[in-house]
Structure 1
Amino acid sequence: MQGTASEATLVAMVAARERVRRTLGKEPELVAYTSTQAHSSVLKAAMLSGVVRGVSDDVHLRQLGTDGVYALRPEVLEQAIREDLAAGRQPFFVCASLGTTSSGAMDPVGAIAEVLKRTGVTAAGGWLHVDAAWAGSALVCPEHRAMLEGLEAVDSFAFNPHKWLLTNFDCNAFYTRERKALLDALSVMPEYLRNAATASGAVIDYRDWQVPLGRRFRALKLWFVLRHYGAKGLRAYIREHVRQAELFASWVEADGRFELATPRSLALVCFRLRPAPGEEPAATDARNRQLLERLNAGGKAFLTHTVLPGVDGAPARYVLRMAIGSARTEERHVRAVWEQLAALAKEA
């Protein structure tokens, strides 16, 4: 149990760095990879672990372009890896996202794993980490497990029950297939920590799986959630939010003034006002920004926004985000938000 997905990414990256060093028997110039839509914690992890030389270092952390639904493109990853290998640099870590923060995009984990195997990164000790901070909670439902295709090839997987599984902050579930890599990278044994149980292997010292020495009892609050709701209750909770998002997306698609900016992802809907005929992209963005500001100023609802990159050379787009995830959100609340948006759109 980590505190957050950010901590999980850092732990995975530090373990990957040590494993590649041990596998190759040298200190190579390391390169990590993720998509432009990945969470900023990947960059922060690279900064904290010393992989990059600063925020703007795009040589040692390559944030790669995405496809039309904002998922990492395996062919772009492979090209970048081969370029770095040819330049004498060593690829060592890839962070794939299941449910990116901006749009809920799902990276193709299986295809990414194949790229690492095909380019020799896996054989060199390279690490594939999956950040499913938000979307991972949906995996309690069998119908959403298709996103796990290729999971058998990853080295670590993490999601936050505190995001969408009714657990109070903070609580991250971090899975890894190779405990030894974490211990090699993170174990320290000063005299005051030595004890017979550790020396005999009778206990698992989870302090060696994380950054801090001390650990909060995060498992207890997650246990209470699991005991109270059970699998059936948790699935009903997730399914109701997804149903509400489907309903909201259907209203957007049925209204000619609006459009979906990208396909709905679970309980996240990215949408916007359509461009008026002949309208410049900046003007469309301004109308959407004004719409969001007026909605939020009303005090009855609060939506967030993001800016999604343009596809095939198109300009970036300012979009609104309907994110459904509260235990108290009901269909009537979602409908009320849509009615407010529809009314405000008449003046936009």
Structure 2
Amino acid sequence: MNWDEYSDWGKYIAEWGANYHKTLADQPVRPETKPGDITAQLPASPPDNGEGMDAIMADFNAVVMPGMTHWQHPRFFAYFPANASPPSMLAEMLVNTVAAQCMLWQTSPAATEVEGVMIDWLRQALGLPEHFTGVIQDSASSATLSAVLTMRERSLKFTGNRDGLSGKGHLRIYCSDQVHTSIDRACWVAGIGQQNLVKIPTTGPHFGIDVAALKKAIADDKANGYIPAGIIAITGGTSIGACDTLGPVLQVAKQEDIYTHLDAAWAGSAMICPEFREAFWEGVEGFDSIVFNPHKWMGAQFDCSVQFLADSTPQLNTLKIEPEYLKTSGEAVTNYSEWTIPLGRRFRALKIWFLIRTYGLAELRERIRNHVHWANEVCEKIGAIEGFEITTDPILSLFSFRCPGDDDTQQRLTDAINKDGRIYLTQTLHENRKVIRLQVGQFDTTRDQVLMAADVIKDVWKEIQ
């Protein structure tokens, strides 16, 4: 392909993309595809000779698109959103075109310096104090792993990387039973182990960690020779939106000199709205590490996860490795690859710059406020369906419910709703019962699209009786 052909096809694909987004609401959210359907349409061996883009795009439309779940659909109420606003998509086109490897300041000075400024813009937007710096990671999983590795090294006086973990004692990480499984995986990868991730029961209206139980667990572990290494709190858990009460958790951490990390991957975006901070953000300034994903609720295209650090030194002491071929001579600069596990880095900050400049914080706040309000409205409508039960009230824009019947009935209704295709929901477990969860957060959804969910649920429930 020459560059003239690239230009022509680039224009074609941009127009295709605009039409795709403009017509999404007319399509089912999930495909009617069975396992193996796509594989069966693909050649078993690669071609020896190249093909034209006409043939490739025709197969893309015929083979790939019928098998895609539409995450940008306005009635995507499952999981959490992975929003892709138009300006962030345009920024990604530029990033992919320039195709820079932004591992060091000298390999892409603009990428490094824009990232530093975007971190500070987001710090201000979320109401964090000036001492916080940060780095853009690919996902919250990577940020959490970075924090857990830092917890490990700090508790071992930064000898684990050098000596290995054998004979160092059993480290303990503490969290609530509402955390995302990325915390479990981080403990696996860090060599801490599943059995040393201590999950504490929750309490209160927002299902926050039981602080008294946390204190007791730490005291018991210390008495038994374990080493408390870190506490991971959550603001907006994946299952039902659980939020820890941050101040009391931090008080325990400070008393015990334990490193803290806050997982606010989804709900952190809502903290650009000052009115949500009192309930969900009070005390956040005391955390050592905080992660939130602009690629979820804020509208930055995946992948884009921001980790804030009150002091970058412990994480740098954990992750920084500097062979001669990566050293930067001259003035002192920031090399963000030293803050993260991967060496290679994309220019993720550009889409944040485009996004915030296009909408401004005011419009981004309005979208999030709308989602929270509409979630409360549709929750009321679902709760009014005969026999239905709201199992957890809306925490920001996430709530859960049950239809009449046992756990198998909940799954049967979920599957029937998703097969219907008009909306997409997912299930979870809460208090040992299966419940159906609904989260409002797709960037361009409207009130009508959200309220339609209650009508679809009622219709499908009647059909499966």
How high is the TM-score relative to the length of structure 2? 0.66
The aligned amino acid for 2:269 is S
Task: Point out 4+ residue stretches in structure 1 off by more than 4 angstroms.
Answer: 23-26
Structure 1 residue 152, shift from structure 2 partner: 2.2
The aligned amino acid for 1:66 is T
Structure 1's unaligned 5+ residue stretches are 275-282, 310-315
User: Which is worse superposed, 205-214 or 246-255?
Assistant: 246-255
Structure 1 residue 180, shift from structure 2 partner: 0.9
Alignment of 1:313-324 (within 5 A): 316-324=432-440
- Matched residue, 1:30: 171
The aligned amino acid for 1:290 is R
- Matched residue, 2:338: 208
Percent sequence identity is 37
Match of 2:353, SS state, is helix
Among 116, 131, 148, the residue aligned to 2:263: 131
- Matched residue, 1:260: 390
User: Which is worse superposed, 147-156 or 1-10?
Assistant: 147-156
The aligned amino acid for 1:240 is N
Alignment of 1:44-63 (within 5 A): 44-52=185-193, 57-58=194-195, 60-63=196-199
Match of 1:88, SS state, is coil
- Matched residue, 2:208: 71
2:242 aligned with 1:105: yes
2:280 aligned with 1:145: no
Match of 1:196, SS state, is coil
- Matched residue, 2:329: 196
Among 394, 399, 408, the residue aligned to 1:286: 408
The aligned amino acid for 1:39 is H
Name the CA distance, whole Å, in 1 between partners of 2:366 and 2:458. 29
**Matched residue count:** 321
Match of 1:47, SS state, is helix
Match of 2:435, SS state, is strand
The aligned amino acid for 2:373 is R
Name the CA distance, whole Å, in 2 between partners of 1:108 and 1:23. 30
Greater RCO (Cα-Cα under 8 Å, separation 6 or more): 2
User: Which is worse superposed, 95-104 or 26-35?
Assistant: 26-35
Name the CA distance, whole Å, in 1 between partners of 2:248 and 2:199. 17
- Select the structure of larger CA radius of gyration: 2
After superposition, give the CA deviation of every residue in 1:218-277 in whole Å (9 maximum; x if it has no partner): 100111101101011100110111111010112133334212111211111211124xxx
The aligned amino acid for 1:79 is K
CA RMSD in angstroms comes to 1.9
The aligned amino acid for 1:195 is T
User: Which is worse superposed, 204-213 or 246-255?
Assistant: 246-255
Structure 1 residue 335, shift from structure 2 partner: 2.2
Name the CA distance, whole Å, in 2 between partners of 1:175 and 1:106. 19
Name the CA distance, whole Å, in 2 between partners of 1:164 and 1:145. 16
Name the CA distance, whole Å, in 2 between partners of 1:12 and 1:220. 25
Alignment of 1:177-192 (within 5 A): 177-192=310-325
Structure 1 residue 3, shift from structure 2 partner: 0.6
Among 196, 220, 223, the residue aligned to 1:83: 220
Match of 2:394, SS state, is coil
Q: Conserved in 2, the CA contact under 8 Å of 1:21 and 1:28?
A: no
How high is the TM-score relative to the length of structure 1? 0.88
Name the CA distance, whole Å, in 2 between partners of 1:232 and 1:194. 41
After superposition, give the CA deviation of every residue in 1:42-83 in whole Å (9 maximum; x if it has no partner): 11111111111xxxx32x111222225432111111111111
- Matched residue, 1:305: 427
Structure 2's unaligned 5+ residue stretches are 1-135, 161-166
